[in-house]
Structure 1
Amino acid sequence: MSKVHRIVRVISLAAIIGAGAHAVLAAETKTPAFSSDPAAIQSRLENVRRLVTNSSGAKRIIESGNREAAATRAEAEKHLYEAEKAVARKDYAAAQKALQEATESMFVAVRVIGTGKDGVEKQKRDFDNKAASVDVLLNAIERVAKEKGGKQAVLDRAQAIRQQAASAQKMAAGGDIQSARKQLDTTYEQAKLELEKLREGETLVRTLDFASPEEEYRYELDRNDTHKMLLTVLLSDKDKSPGMQKLIDGYVEKSGDLRQQAEQAAAKGAFKKGVQDLEEATRYLQRAIRSAGVYIPG
């Protein structure tokens, strides 16, 4: 059996996810940018007025009799009144600020009284999505640790985090979704921190010896799967304009086409062709991630 000798530049997944975490955090904490067009502001004013006064959330707050929720809704009404005055004097920046504060106050008030049956289902879906993200991060930790020479201490810590995540899932299964989510969020942060510790050296240059072209194909297949998971984790919470989303979708579609070509080639025994197609497919996934503002070295 012939050996395939190849020097491979392996990108640290910790670096990728670390960069993505910072990019997502920045996107979540920056001040929203709204239109200064008077017509657009008037439309938003009407929408927020409905949210505060007669939306289903407002009605549930009133019917709940919860004092904390009622007080928070009163704050939203105050901000709405401030927005109306700002619009009247054509101070649109102040109007947008007040409208944003009114919206945020209403969200807080609704959370105080709970989210109803549909909201509970959403909490469960969000929990499952976060659990999947934790699993992806832990897989990345384990892969990078092994690529860097089998760091046993890192692998042990990853296993401990897995156990905490499993404990959170048991809580969720028992109906305590809020406590479960709190613990799962902690494990998510621990996983990100562990990845940060692995960021010593953005890349690894290793010589990989493959026993056959088929083994090399399997390696590239796994690498492509990893990037697909990274794409989901890194971009799931990131704000994307229609143009950016179209660009990302285009790259993902090209990657999928190339992956399909690779699988067809491998089915015919043409593993070298499959490797080439998979490498190109993974490059398109990297471009998709970069196009959303997350830097990937290499």
Structure 2
Amino acid sequence: MQEIMHNKGCHFVLALLLTTLTAWADTPPSAAAPVDQSRKLQLAEQKSRLIETLIATPAMKKALEGKNPEAQGWVNISRTLLDQAKTAMQNEQPDEAIEMLDEALRSLSKASGALASDRIAGLLTRKKDFEEQVKQLDSYRRTLEEMAAVPRTSDSARRLIIQLDIMVAEGHKLFDKQKFDDALKQMTAAYNLAVAEISRLRAGQEVVHSLHFASPREEFDYEQKRYHSNEILVGMLSREGRAQGEAKGLVDGFVKAAGEMKEEAAAKAASNDYPAAIKDMEKANQHLNRALQLMGVAVF
């Protein structure tokens, strides 16, 4: 938590500093107070050192890694302008140097804005993934509530409900603290526990899923949500290294086949051929289920 607050603080300070310096860059010198060449060179050197410091900050270094092309572009522009300004200072051309340095500051400000937008987009994606996992676990909880009404599975189902509620609550706490990766791992652990224990409790029973949809479009939307949930889980388990060597190649193949089938389903749905689109989505989910099984997840 302390590290997160530190990072947020660093981004805030950087943004505030860039805003202040950009405003400074946009303020023309007073005509009533002419500045001599030496003072102008001194001012250019100060701005040059400030820009070098800003480019060396963790946020700008991250931009140069290339994960955000827009931010990377603005930082590279500022570096080029900085080099040109240094050449101008060596040639004792302070006015040209200051103009280039001011433009470099504006470029860094734009890079900071692009990074901020990237962070917001990442947060929204994680929030969506987390919410999908919560929905999936809610559906399993309803299944367990039904099993709790059956004498043979009642005690075990009730204990599992309590255990899952504790794990899900912890996942929410982690997410609220902005420990997004830990929150998603916690929800994945809860998911794995749920599917494994429900499968165990249902051993020897005929599993029948009775789902009723108001329209083919509603059923198609359900299959898409199921696909997205499975896709999240496959991605997380892959990043954890659950598939190695030959298994990884098989998992990647199933994921690719699932994606292609999903695109075909979307095309058919766009033509209002929902029955065919639903069949394609079911096949897509089967591919993802096979990938999950290869990584040790019980799927039913």
Q: Same fold (TM over 0.5)?
A: no
TM-score, normalised to structure 2's length?
Answer: 0.42
Q: What's the TM-score, normalizing by structure 1? A: 0.42
Structure with the larger strand share: 1
The structure showing larger relative contact order (alpha-carbon pairs under 8 Å, at least 6 residues apart) is 1
